Every structure is written in C-alpha cells, then in structure tokens.
Chain A
Amino acid sequence: MQNSLCILVVEADADKARQIIDALCEAGMTDVHALAHPGGLERAIKQISPDIVLIDLANPDRDTLEHLSLVSDPKARAVAMFVDQTDDELTRAALNAGVSAYVVDGLKMNRIKPVLETAIARFQLMRQMQSELDAAKRALHDRKTIDRAKGILMRQRGCSEEEAYGLLRKTAMDQGRKVIDVAQALVTAADLLS
C-alpha cells in the first residue's frame, strides 16, 4: 500500500512506542516518528510536521495537543482531534481502544482510516497484554499476602497451614468478603501491632 503520510507517535514507554511503529511500518507506512519527552511536543510538531499525531488516551500530554489545535498563528498548521461525523464508529472504536488521533490540516478521511485502523488493532493488543500482565502481577501479590496471613495465624494459633487457610476462608465467607481482603486486613493489623 502506497502511503506517504508522516505520523508522529507520542509515547514515553520505548517498548510500547516501538510496537506501534512496527505495526504501522508493517502496514506500509514508512515515515513514522516517535516522541518520548512531553516537553518537546510543540517543537516536534513544527520540526517533523506530521500529518497525524497518535497519542495514548491515558497520556496527560493530550491536553497540550488540544491547546495546539487552537494556535492562531497563520503560519502554524492546524491540529484537530480526529472526529469524523460520517464515521462516528471509527472515532468511538479508537477512543475505546485507548488511542486518540490528532489530524493536521484536515486530511482526507480515506487516508486516515488505514492508519487509525492499524493503530486501533495494536492498541487493543497492547492493552490486552498489559491487563494480562497486571492480572498476573496481582495474583502473585495476592498469593504473597495470603501466605503472610497464613503464617501469622499459624504462629499465633499454633495451627497447620491448612487450618490457617480454612480459617481465612471461613471468615471471608461469613463476612461476605474476599479471602485476599481478610488476609490484607490481618497483615495490616499485624504490622501495626508489631
């Protein structure tokens, strides 16, 4: 696919930035730049002169891009958040995937669409991987907390590991809470008392 668009990806995480750039290059876009440092946004837009700026919805620097959309300098190119009334679904899909796109100087819809679709797919993939990673980390952390709570019970009540877990579980069920919450409360209380 022939595509001479210049794309600027604003992303502080080098690994994520590379993933997005790789995806765009695979889709045939060659002129892709990354910007990690938030302070240089305005300068980068002037120097690189991108057609499209892609930025994570969760990136606080988005507000700086909103500001650039109001630049009144006639020499400066206008930046506008990509909102397409004829294809509302695309805007919605992009925001749901966590990517916000800013378009410079009113590009034609058919040229933006492939870029945005590629970015949406990659952001969705990254988000999914991130949430799996988070879930794994959380599970590990929960495990450690429950182990500590069991240890406290075993020492204080002189019971076995199995009995300690049974006690945590029963307390959680009686109170309508999760085992991890009961364990966390016990660990916190023990820390306070020690």
Chain B
Amino acid sequence: MTGQVLNIGYVPLVDCAPLVIARELGFAAEEGLSLSLMPQPSWSALRDMLVLGHLDAAQMLSPMPVAMSMGLGGLSAQVDALMVLAVNGTVFGVSRALAARMRDRGAVFGDVSAVASALAPEARVRIGVPFPYSMHRLLLDYFLERAPALQGAAIEVVTVPPRRMADAMERGELDALWVGEPWGSDAVLRGVAELWLPGQAIWAFSPEKVLAMRHDRIQAAPGTTRALMRAVYHACRWLDAPRNKPLAIEILARSEHLDLSDQTIDPAITGRLTPAQGASPVEVPQFQLFHRHTANFPWRSQANWIAERLGADAEARALARASFRSDLYREVLGPLGADLPGASEKIEGAMRHATAVASTKGHMILGPDAFFDGETFDPTPES
C-alpha cells in the first residue's frame, strides 16, 4: 500500500464506519492516503494520544473538542471538529428486572414521557454512560432535567467503558445504560438489557461523533487535512446508500474491526432495533445518519448547544463555535458537490419534520431536529 500514512484513532463502535470504509473501499487511497486505524482502549487515552501527536486525527465524541476548548478534563490542546461522522445512534436501556417493573407501569418503547413516569418511582437507578464529555451524558442530563416525572428522582450517573456496560449490568453494578451501538443491541442479544429509547427521542438530530484534529496540525498540513476530509466524506456518502448496507455490515463485522456478529451490527446500520430478546424489530427513522440530511455539516450552533450544556460562558461559547470548522467544510467539500446550507448556525430544535431550506444548490432537506420537550435553542450570541 502506498500513500501518506496517517495514524487515525478510534473506539470500536458502529459509528467508526466512515473511517473503516474510507480505508477498506479505497476512498483514502484515491486521495493518496494510507489510513492506519488504531483502536484506543478509552476516550481519555484517545484524547491524550491526539494531544501528544501520536495520532494524526481521530474519531471523537462531539462534546470532546468543545470540552477541550473550555480546558475541561485532563490533557488539553486546541482540537477542531472537521466534520460530523455520525448523527444519532445511541440507545437507553435497562436491566431486565427493571424493564419488567417499567412495563407494568406503562413504559412504551420510544415514548419519552411514559418511560420517564415508569422510571420515576424507583428508589435508586444507576445509569452508565461511556464518558463524562459525551452526547450520551448530555442527552441523559437533558432528559433528567426536563422530564417532569423525573424531578427529584434518585438517579446516579457512572462512567463505564462501552464494551463493559453489559458485564457491569450483569454483575448488578448498573440498572440502566446509555450507550452507542452495537453495545446496546449486544446487551439485548445477551439477554442482559432491554431498550426503551433511541437517543433521538431526546434530540432528533444530535451530532454524535466528529472527525477531530489538532488545530496546529490542520494549519501545518492543509493538503493532508483536505485529502482526509474528502476521503471520509465519500465514505459517509457510500454508507448511507441503502444498497451498500449489507456490505458495510459485513466489513464492520470482520475480526480486525468490530469482531462481532453481523446480527449485532445490523440494527444501527439498518435502523431496525430489537428492543428486547424475542421482540419484533422496530423501525426507527434516522436512527443513525452518516450522510443524509446534511449530517456531516459541523453546525456551529451544535457546538454552541454543547458548550452551553457544559456550562460555558459567552467567551467559551465563542471558542467552542470556532472549533466546529464549518468554514473548512464549505471550502473543501463544496467543490465536491456537497450541499452547503446558507448559514452555519440554525435554531436547534425548530424542526418537528423534515424541512426544505435554502442551500447552494437551491434547496436541501434538513432535520427533523426537535427536542422532546419542544424547546428550541437560538444560537444568536447575546451581547
């Protein structure tokens, strides 16, 4: 294999697919790149390796670059999000014992208020999330804060690596989990958990993972950065074509990637979730988007929402917005035919349905992006 070698860090999850596909199907090679995909044991290890320069780029939880721009948590550096790798794709599930009690109290898959009411009477619920600065955590916090039934509920949030969540639940250390696929479906297949909510029940269009690079490296290697963005963009577009899904599942299942059965990976890619062992699959619209609805565009309003949820002040929010490189996205992917929205910020949560908006090509279909409580987030900076 020839081409410039790039060390790319990732955590084995279905949404590392754009990086795997970029390499396996030659999108990277076409750009003169050879991607060396390096699985990382934890998000903190991935962050440290990126900061120290052992990794050239990485798949990151969307709140990580924002948290780093705010100087939160461990090693810090200016890290930018070049594009969004995946929108949505997480699930909320509970142990089977808790699921049985919740069913008796009227919980229904996907129904946020019914799930909240069924959860509320529990004396103590320990919920696992994969990382403090993750969309999982932010969605969970939003759910706990805004669902009227859960006010004052005895909830404890703990951090457990995704691959270990089902084990922790089996040992009785967790009552519930909020995790990225395939680990939710894996827990269901193992008979450990039942799923109640897909992540987008809370926010219909949340940036889940981003392609991240150190800011100074982007400056120093503009050509490489652009080539990487193009390769990953092509891979994302390939992934969202329905006819490619069976091959995508087959490639991801391979031992050098996720090393899991096709059956475990299928729900995230096809959007057909099986909430409990023996239950029939449920069709979840836009369960995980790799490309459709302008999923790859790094909206500055998304970064702004994350920053606000992490408690940023106006100055920190400006830094967070700047870390989502919609400017670079326009410059690099516009010439490739990527549809570009007229603005780089939108009112988050304003679209209950898919909506046509103005774009470089005349119109593009966005959303829906509603929050479960019907609130909107207006990014217009005050002051």
| B41–A81 touching, CB < 8 Å | no
* Segment 34-74 of A: residues with Cβ below 8 Å from B: 38-39, 42, 57-67, 69-70
A63-B74 in contact given A42-B158, A57-B48, A92-B52 (Cβ < 8 Å): no
Closest to A67 in B: B159
Q: With contacts defined as CB atoms under 8 Å apart, how many contacts are there between chain A and chain B in the complex?
A: 70
Question: B74 contacts which of A61, A64, A81 (Cβ < 8 Å)?
Answer: A81
| A64–B73 touching, CB < 8 Å | no
* Distance in angstroms between the alpha carbons of A38 and B163 in the assembled complex: 13
Chain A interface, number of residues (Cβ within 8 angstroms): 24
| A63–B42 touching, CB < 8 Å | yes
| A66–B163 touching, CB < 8 Å | no
- A38 cross-chain contacts in B, Cβ below 8 A: 164
Main secondary structure of the interface of B (DSSP, over half): loop
User: Does B176 sit at the interface, judged by CB under 8 A?
Assistant: no
| A100–B73 touching, CB < 8 Å | no
Closest to B130 in A: A63
Question: A81 contacts which of B44, B131, B163 (Cβ < 8 Å)?
Answer: B44
* Chain A proximity of B54: nearest CB distance (Å): 8
- B132 cross-chain contacts in A, Cβ below 8 A: 63, 66-67, 69-70
* Chain A proximity of B67: nearest CB distance (Å): 10
- A39 cross-chain contacts in B, Cβ below 8 A: 168, 171, 173
- B73 cross-chain contacts in A, Cβ below 8 A: 66, 69-70, 81
* Chain A proximity of B309: nearest CB distance (Å): 14
User: Does A107 sit at the interface, judged by CB under 8 A?
Assistant: no
Chain B interface, number of residues (Cβ within 8 angstroms): 23
User: Does B43 sit at the interface, judged by CB under 8 A?
Assistant: yes
User: Does A91 sit at the interface, judged by CB under 8 A?
Assistant: yes
* Distance in angstroms between the alpha carbons of A100 and B46 in the assembled complex: 13
Closest to B51 in A: A95
Question: B158 contacts which of A60, A64, A69, A91 (Cβ < 8 Å)?
Answer: A64
- A100 cross-chain contacts in B, Cβ below 8 A: 44-45, 48
* Chain B proximity of A147: nearest CB distance (Å): 23
- A95 cross-chain contacts in B, Cβ below 8 A: 48, 52, 75
* Distance in angstroms between the alpha carbons of A42 and B44 in the assembled complex: 17
- A96 cross-chain contacts in B, Cβ below 8 A: 52
- B76 cross-chain contacts in A, Cβ below 8 A: 83
Question: A66 contacts which of B52, B159, B171 (Cβ < 8 Å)?
Answer: B159
Question: B42 contacts which of A42, A59, A69, A80 (Cβ < 8 Å)?
Answer: A59
Question: B159 contacts which of A57, A64, A83, A91 (Cβ < 8 Å)?
Answer: A64
* Segment 161-194 of B: residues with Cβ below 8 Å from A: 161, 163-164, 168, 171, 173
| A63–B173 touching, CB < 8 Å | no
* Chain A proximity of B45: nearest CB distance (Å): 5
* Distance in angstroms between the alpha carbons of A96 and B51 in the assembled complex: 12
* Distance in angstroms between the alpha carbons of A67 and B42 in the assembled complex: 12
- B340 cross-chain contacts in A, Cβ below 8 A: none
| B41–A58 touching, CB < 8 Å | yes
A-B residue pairs in contact (CB < 8 Å), sample of 15: A38-B164, A42-B158, A57-B48, A63-B43, A63-B130, A63-B131, A64-B160, A65-B44, A66-B159, A67-B131, A69-B73, A83-B74, A83-B75, A92-B52, A95-B48
Using A62-B42, A66-B73 as known contacts, list a sample of 6 further A-B pairs with CB atoms less than 8 Å apart, ordered by residue number in A.
A39-B173, A63-B42, A66-B131, A67-B158, A95-B52, A100-B44
Q: Please name the 4 residue pairs, one residue from A and one from B, whose CB atoms are nearest each other, closest first.
A: A67-B159, A60-B161, A81-B74, A62-B42
Residues of A in contact with B (beta carbons under 8 Å apart): 38-39, 42, 57-67, 69-70, 80-81, 83, 91-92, 95-96, 100
